[in-house]
Chain A
Amino acid sequence: MFQISTSPIDEVALKKRLENPKAGAFVSFEGWVRNHHEGREVVLLEYEAFEALAQSEAEKILQEAVSRFEIEEAICVHRTGALCIGALAVWVGVTAAHRGAAFQACQYIMDAIKSRLPIWKKEHYANGDSGWVNCQHCASHSGSDNHHVDKSLGFDEVHYYERQMRLPEVGAEGQATLKQSKVLVVGAGGLGSAALLYLASAGVGTLGICEFDNLEPSNLHRQVLYHASDAGQSKCELAKRRLQALNPFIHIQTYDKKLDLNNIEGILNHYDLVLDCTDNFKTKFLLNDAAVHFQKPLIQASIYQYEGQLQLYLPNGDSPCLRCLWPEMPEADCTGTCEDVGVLGAVPGVFGTLQAMEALKYLLGLPTDLNRHVLMMDLLTSRVQKIRQIQNPACPICGENADRESFLTMMNGNAEEEIDLEIDLAACSREHLNAFQWVDIREAHECLQDDFEALLVQQIPLSRFNLEISTLSPQHAYLVFCQKGIRSKKLVRVLRQQGFTKVYSVQGGVKQIQNWLKAPLQ
């Protein structure tokens, strides 16, 4: 029996209730209000419980004690309301045939009550201050990760999650699971903004953010993590700041870099689950291949204008991967990026939110069937479809003949092509780059803020490239750049076919040029 009581606990009556001729032992525990906590003098305590949840969780705990130890019966009563120093705050009584089981069960119950029940206490200190303290934290006083109520907030962590902990599928246990979970979100754009906001506010204890772009004004209509005044700054840092303000109780780790074959294992290793919120095939396929190879669950989403797709890869099962459907990475030009084809901000919002939902389901151990289906949604027509997909035995990554070699070959294949078309400014000497003529292919409206006076830049917007290509000579060396390095790479591929042998795309686009200009001369 468990009870929350607003009036003083009558321990004599409770002991009487436990009397039982089969019992050879009775053990009781009393928790009293003490006059100090973490070095501060306490004069009064107020207990507050989230009653429905406390009741069900406590009953579970008593049941566990009965099934684990050979006891007859167990009772626990917990006070709420205002208590003076020395008052009885919690009482546990256990009867058993023998003392060993009674001692063990009593301790088990009390430890579990302390760590699992949503009960808070407000300490009133001698100096007139007061503060809410979560008893779940008090349970880990000996532990290292013992952060108490945030003084500036004036409320404790468990108050934050109260409404979601009411759900039977979450509860105190589920909330604790979320807190222990580590989720990596790759890409903090449209999908990532929505996914990160909901994962952070749900209390995923460790959130990793991998993103290397700076915020552009054209991102703002869909990337709701950011503020207009943030334009030009690193998205990774902005995201961390915003999410930490949203939920100060979680830990956020940033990776302000592009994922590649060399760093991916080191980053993925730290996480239980990965969300693919990227906007290009190359990273999507790299993530897919790495997730299969290193056996990490992966939640993938992609959008196009008003529609999108969602799927889930789970290791150690029969769930198909991205390459089961697309063994070869599709050419980027058979579909558009958000820049080319346009997108309504709510669309990545919907799909990023679905990714967060699938992530929470996975972490809480709730069933899903998106590991065997691709979810397709057209938000213009509100058509929702789940298309069955099975694992492809011939898949180059997760199929019967796949191994580490095939993973490396696949990724190196991508890397080689890259090196040939692109130049990494940071890896080149200034002298070497002096031989090139710079060509800015961005449209006029994109170049307003940038100032590359230090460089001799010829401007040929991509939309007029065919008209002005005669001003370029195939014998000359050119460095072509755009905002991100995606359009320029595409163009370089075409120019190579037209006989321009010394034309390269600037990897990473404008941001990399800015960084390079700022870097000290080598």
Chain B
Amino acid sequence: MIVKADTTEKKIDVQYYALLREERGLSFETVMTIAQTPKELYGELQKRHGFRLPIERLKVAVNDAFQDWDSPLQPNDNVVFIPPVAGG
């Protein structure tokens, strides 16, 4: 069976925390993307903005719940990229 990749663009809300927020210079943006998963989305944004953190050092939450990097993205999803923080 051949699964055809869905190439239609969808609107995704993206939030950045900690180091990512600093590197991006903002904490929230809406992007148009063809990314199918949070992993693809991060790859895309990393290329665009030069984020230093590799995906292995981040967690992702979709619609207020932690999710796998390979879970499918739906239009209008809210995606949050979260680096670990330790300050006190």
- Contact residues, B21-77 vs A (CB, 8 A): 21-22, 27-28, 53, 57, 59, 61, 64-66
The 3 closest A-B pairs by CB, nearest first: A279-B88, A388-B65, A304-B85
Say whether A334 contacts B83, CB under 8 Å: yes
Query: B66: which of A278, A279, A334, A389 is its contact (CB, 8 Å)?
Result: A389
B88 touches A305 (CB 8 A): no
**Which of B22, B57, B66, B80 makes the CB contact (< 8 A) with A330?**
B57
Q: Is the pair B22, A305 in contact by a Cβ cutoff of 8 Å?
A: yes
Sampled A-B contacts (12; CB under 8 Å): A280-B86, A302-B86, A304-B19, A305-B87, A326-B59, A330-B57, A332-B86, A335-B83, A337-B86, A338-B88, A376-B80, A388-B65
B51 to chain A, nearest CB (A): 11
CB distance from A324 to the nearest CB of B (A): 9
Shortest Cβ distance from residue A357 to the other chain B in the assembled complex, whole angstroms? 17
Q: Give CA–CA (A302, B17) in the complex, Å.
A: 12
Is A279's CB under 8 angstroms from B86's CB? yes
Chain B interface main SS type: mixed
A191 interfacial contact with B, CB 8 Å: yes
CB nearest to B83 among chain A residues:
A335
Chain B nearest CB from A299 CB (Å) reads: 12
Q: A325-B59, A335-B19 are in contact. Are A309 and B85 (CB under 8 A)?
A: yes
Number of A-B contacts (CB under 8 A): 101
> How many angstroms from the CA of A374 to the CA of B59 in the assembled complex?
12
Q: Out of A338, A385, A386, A388, which one reaches B87, CB within 8 Å? A: A338
Chain A residues positioned under 8 Å from B86 (CB to CB): 278-281, 284, 302, 330, 332, 335, 337
A residues near B19, Cβ cutoff 8 Å: 304, 334-336
Residues of A within 8 A of B (CB): 187, 189-192, 277-281, 284, 301-305, 307-309, 325-326, 330-332, 334-338, 341, 343, 348, 374, 376, 378, 380-381, 383, 385-390
Write the chain B residue with the least CB distance to A378: B27
Tell me if A335 and B85 are in contact (CB < 8 A): yes
User: What CA separation (Å) do A378 and B61 show in the bound complex?
Assistant: 16
Task: Answer yes or no: B14 CB below 8 A from chain A CBs.
Answer: no
Docked pose: A302 CA to B87 CA in angstroms = 5
**B28 and A383 contact, CB distance less than 8 A:** yes
A325-B66, A330-B57, A388-B65 known; A307+B88 contact, CB < 8 A:
no
Instruction: Looking at the assembled complex, report how far the CB atom of A141 sits from the nearest CB atom of chain B, in whole angstroms.
Output: 44
Nearest CB on A from B26, distance (A): 9
Q: A378-B21, A387-B61 are in contact. List 11 more A-B contacts (CB 8 A).
A: A277-B88, A303-B85, A307-B17, A334-B53, A335-B18, A376-B17, A387-B65, A387-B66, A387-B80, A388-B65, A388-B66
Q: A390 contacts which chain B residues (CB < 8 A)? A: 66
Tell me the nearest residue of chain B to A278, going by C-beta: B88
A320, closest chain B residue (CB): B66
A302-B85 in contact (CB<8A)? yes
Q: Are B84 and A330 in contact (CB under 8 A)?
A: yes
Which of B65, B66, B88 has a CB less than 8 Å from the CB of A192?
A: B88
Nearest residue in A to B61 (C-beta to C-beta)? A387
Is A190's CB under 8 angstroms from B88's CB?
A: yes
Known: A325-B59, A381-B28, A388-B66. A337 touches B87 (CB 8 A): yes
Q: Which residues of chain B have C-beta atoms less than 8 A from A380's C-beta?
A: 27
| A383→B14 CA distance, assembly (Å) | 13
Bound complex: CA of A331 vs CA of B86, how far in Å?
A: 11
Chain A residue nearest to B78 (CB atoms) is: A385
A203 to chain B, nearest CB (A): 25
Residues of A close to B82: CB separation below 8 A? 376, 387
- CA–CA, A279 to B85, complex, Å? 9
CA distance A302 to B53 in the complex (A): 19
The complex places the Cα of A374 from the Cα of B83 at a distance, in Å, of 13
In the complex, the answer to whether A191 meets B88 with C-beta atoms within 8 Å is yes
Cβ distance A319 to chain B, nearest Cβ, rounded Å: 14
Contacts of A374 in B (CB 8 A): 66
A309 to B53, CA, bound (A): 19
CB closest residue in chain A, given B54: A334
* Closest residue of B by beta carbon distance from A330: B84
Contact status B18-A307, CB under 8 Å: yes
Q: Which residues of B contact A307 (CB under 8 A)?
A: 17-18, 21, 85
CB closest residue in chain B, given A277: B88
Chain B hits for A301, CB < 8 A: 88
Instruction: Report yes or no: A305 in contact with B18, Cβ–Cβ below 8 A.
Output: yes
User: Which chain A residue shows the least CB distance to B52?
Assistant: A334
**A contact residues around B53 at 8 Å (CB):** 334
Inside 8 A of A381's CB, which chain B residues have their CB?
Answer: 27-28
Which residues from A are CB-within-8-Å of B61? 387
Closest B residue by C-beta to A307: B17
Bound: A476/B17 CA distance, A: 42
Indicate the member of B19, B22, B66 with the most A CB atoms within 10 Å.
Answer: B66
> How far is it, in angstroms, between the C-alpha of A383 and the C-alpha of B64 when the chains are bound?
13
State whether B84 touches A385 (Cβ < 8 A). no
Taking CB atoms, residues of chain B closer than 8 Å to A190 are 87-88
Beta-carbon contact of B87 and A281 below 8 Å: no
Chain B 1-29 interface mask (CB, 8 Å, partner A; 1/0): 00000000000000101110110000110
Are B27 and A308 closer than 8 Å at their CB atoms? no
Nearest Cβ on chain B to A423's Cβ, whole angstroms: 24
Q: Which residues of B contact A337 (CB under 8 A)?
A: 86-87
- A326, A332, A388 pick with most chain B CB within 10 angstroms: A388
Known A383-B28, A387-B66; judge A378-B17 contact (CB<8 A): yes
Bound Cα distance from A75 to B61, whole angstroms: 59
Contacts A305-B18, A307-B21 given; does A388 touch B64 at CB 8 Å: yes
